[in-house]
A and B are shown apart, each in its own frame.
Chain A
Amino acid sequence: MTEAASTSPPQGKEQPIKASEIDPKFKYELQKMHGSEKILKCFQCGTCTSDCPVARFSDSYRPRTLIHMAQLGLKDRVLNSDTLWLCAACFTCTDRCPQDVEVASVIRVFRNLATEKGCIPQVFKDQAQSLIETGYAYKIPDLRIKKRESQGLPPLPKGNPDAVKKTLKGVAFFDRVQKPQGEQASGKQ
Chain B
Amino acid sequence: MANSKYLIFLGCAIPYRVSSFEISSRKVLAKLGVELAEMPEFNCCGLPFDPVSHETMLILAAKNLAMAEQVGLNILTLCPGCAGTLKKVNKILKADKSLKEKINGHLKEAGLEFKGTVETKHLLQLLKEDVGVEKIKAAVTRPLTGLKVAEHNGCHILRPKEFIGFDDPEDPQTLKMLIEATGATCLDYIDETECCGAPSVGVSDKIALQLARDKLNHIKMVEAQALVTVCPFCHIMYDTNELRIEKTFNEVYGIPILHYPQLLGLAMGMSPEELAFSELRVNAKKIVEQFATQGAKQ
Which residues of A come within 8 Å of B, CB atoms? 1-5, 34-35, 53-54, 56-58, 85-92, 94-95, 102, 104, 108-109, 111-112, 115, 120-124, 127-128, 131, 135-138, 140, 144-145, 147-148, 151-154, 156-161, 163-164, 166-174, 189
Q: Contacts A57-B210, A136-B12, A138-B16 known; A86 to B204 CB distance under 8 Å? A: yes
- B41, A159: Cβ atoms under 8 Å? yes
- B207, A5: Cβ atoms under 8 Å? yes
- A135, B52: Cβ atoms under 8 Å? no
A-B contact list, 15 entries, CB within 8 Å? A4-B204, A54-B195, A86-B204, A89-B50, A91-B160, A112-B54, A127-B48, A138-B12, A151-B276, A163-B43, A164-B63, A167-B60, A167-B112, A172-B55, A173-B49
A12 CA / B192 CA spacing, docked (Å): 32
A110 CA / B159 CA spacing, docked (Å): 20
In the complex, residue of chain B having the shortest beta-carbon distance to the beta carbon of A33: B54
One of A34, A53, A122 near B194 (C-beta < 8 A): A53
One of B38, B42, B110 near A167 (C-beta < 8 A): B110
Q: Besides A4-B203, A56-B211, A163-B43, 5 other CB < 8 A contacts?
A: A90-B199, A91-B159, A124-B52, A151-B19, A154-B38
Q: Contacts A137-B44, A144-B16 known; A2 to B205 CB distance under 8 Å? A: yes
Q: Contacts A3-B204, A86-B204, A163-B110 known; A115 to B53 CB distance under 8 Å? A: yes
- A92, B155: Cβ atoms under 8 Å? yes
Which residues of B come within 8 Å of A, CB atoms? 10, 12-13, 15-17, 19, 22-23, 26, 38-44, 48-56, 59-60, 63, 99, 106-107, 109-110, 112, 155-156, 159-161, 169-170, 194-195, 197-200, 202-207, 210-211, 276
In the complex, residue of chain B having the shortest beta-carbon distance to the beta carbon of A155: B38
B182 to chain A minimum Cβ distance, whole angstroms, is 23
- A92, B159: Cβ atoms under 8 Å? yes
- B202, A121: Cβ atoms under 8 Å? yes
- A168, B276: Cβ atoms under 8 Å? no
**Residues in B neighbouring A138, C-beta threshold 8 A:** 12-13, 16-17
- A171, B276: Cβ atoms under 8 Å? no
**Residues in B neighbouring A151, C-beta threshold 8 A:** 19, 23, 276
- B195, A108: Cβ atoms under 8 Å? no
One of A115, A131, A189 near B43 (C-beta < 8 A): A131
- A5, B12: Cβ atoms under 8 Å? no
One of B23, B53, B206 near A172 (C-beta < 8 A): B53
Q: Contacts A131-B43, A138-B16 known; A95 to B54 CB distance under 8 Å? A: no
One of A35, A58, A111, A120 near B204 (C-beta < 8 A): A58
- A167, B203: Cβ atoms under 8 Å? no
**Residues in B neighbouring A34, C-beta threshold 8 A:** 54, 99
- B15, A148: Cβ atoms under 8 Å? yes
In the complex, residue of chain B having the shortest beta-carbon distance to the beta carbon of A127: B48
A188 CA / B10 CA spacing, docked (Å): 32
A151 CA / B27 CA spacing, docked (Å): 12
A182 CA / B106 CA spacing, docked (Å): 19
A63 to chain B minimum Cβ distance, whole angstroms, is 14
- B210, A153: Cβ atoms under 8 Å? no
**Residues in B neighbouring A94, C-beta threshold 8 A:** 159-160
Q: Contacts A35-B54, A85-B203, A157-B41 known; A90 to B195 CB distance under 8 Å? A: yes
B234 to chain A minimum Cβ distance, whole angstroms, is 11
